[in-house]
Amino acid sequence: MTIVRLSDGGLWVHSPIQLSNSIKEQINNLGQVKYLIAPNHLHHLFLSEWVFAYPSAEIYGTDEVIKKCRDIHFHASLNQGGNAWNSEIEQELFSGSPLMEECVFYHRLSKTLIVTDLVENFSGQDFNYWQRFVAKGAGILAPNGKMPLDWRLSFMFSKQEARKHLSKLLSWKPNILVMAHGEIVLDNADEFLQRSFKWLV
């Protein structure tokens, strides 16, 4: 989960996790939850908890999420773009795969790229030998994290579309990369992305 405090003090909550009392207390100390973001169809599991806890928040998801979560009323689709936070947070729908599409975000002020599964960069410290071996083979072990192997392979016939999306991400020149799975890249995130997406060349 990633939270951005917008210039008006409202909170933009990306890929919300399970809402414990402790987390709720911390959130309430930060400010008012204004937007709830489900960026791909794997990152919505706890969305309903947040919708119940913060009924005034606007909910956004990709078309795939909206189709999957019919019990939730979404304010709009992330596929459409042009949302209220655009002056502070840009977005790009990384599409072209039959497996999944993901909406990626860029916070201008902090030069931070925010992703969920687009890149995974596990430290491996909590992995056993076999898990580390598999993670390294799949290319998701820090400091050389990448898109998960199955998702990479699904772009076999649409690499050109993926390159277009990557070009957009690189044009933002992000310095920090925050992801849902793995170690945060705290500097030169654009260079990390170029290495991470060499498989597209």
**Domain housing 178:** 89-201
pLDDT at 129 over 70: yes
Per residue in 46-73, pLDDT (tens digit) is 999 999 999 999 999 999 999 999 999 9
Q: What is the pLDDT of residue 124?
A: 66
Identify the pLDDT of residue 58: 98
- Asked whether residue 93 falls in the same domain as residue 20, the answer is no
Q: Please choose, from the candidates 47, 39, 90, the residue with its C-alpha nearest in 3D space to the C-alpha of residue 63.
A: 39
- The structural domain count of the chain equals 2
Closest CA to 123 of 111, 114, 115, 131: 131
Do 167 and 129 have their domain in common? yes
95 and 71 fall within a common domain: no
Q: What is the pLDDT of residues 22-51, one digit of tens each?
A: 999 999 999 999 999 999 988 788 999 999
Residue-wise pLDDT tens digits, 141-160? 778 888 888 888 888 888 99
Q: Which helix (H) or strand (E) holds 61?
A: strand 58-61
- Asked whether residue 93 falls in the same domain as residue 63, the answer is no
For position 182, which CATH number holds?
Answer: 3.60.15.10
Contacts 24+ apart (CB under 8 A), 83-92: 84/35, 84/58, 85/6, 85/12, 85/35, 88/4, 88/6, 88/7, 89/4, 89/12, 90/172, 92/165, 92/168, 92/169
Question: Are residues 153 and 189 part of one domain?
Answer: yes
Cα-trace Rg, the chain: 17
Q: Which pLDDT does position 121 carry in this prediction?
A: 83
* pTM, full prediction: 0.90
Do 116 and 195 fall into the same domain? yes
Whole-number Å distance between alpha carbons of 119 and 151: 10
Does 83 map to a domain? no
Residue 29 and residue 71 share a domain: yes
Shared-domain flag, residues 99 and 168 = yes
Q: How confident is the model over 114-141, as a mean pLDDT? A: 77
Asked if 78 and 43 touch (Cβ cutoff 8 Å), the reply is: no
Which of 32, 53, 77 is a domain's end point?
77
97 and 44 share one domain: no
Same domain, 95 and 184: yes
Give me the pLDDT at residue 168, please. 97
Residue 126 lies in a domain: yes
- In this prediction, residues 120-141 reach a mean pLDDT of 73
Find the angle CA(27)-CA(33)-CA(39) to the nearest 5 degrees. 100
Please identify which residue in the block is written with the tokens 């002020």: 109
The tens digit of pLDDT for each residue in 106-116 reads 999 999 999 99
Whether 110 and 176 share a structural domain: yes
Do 123 and 98 lie in one domain? The reply is yes
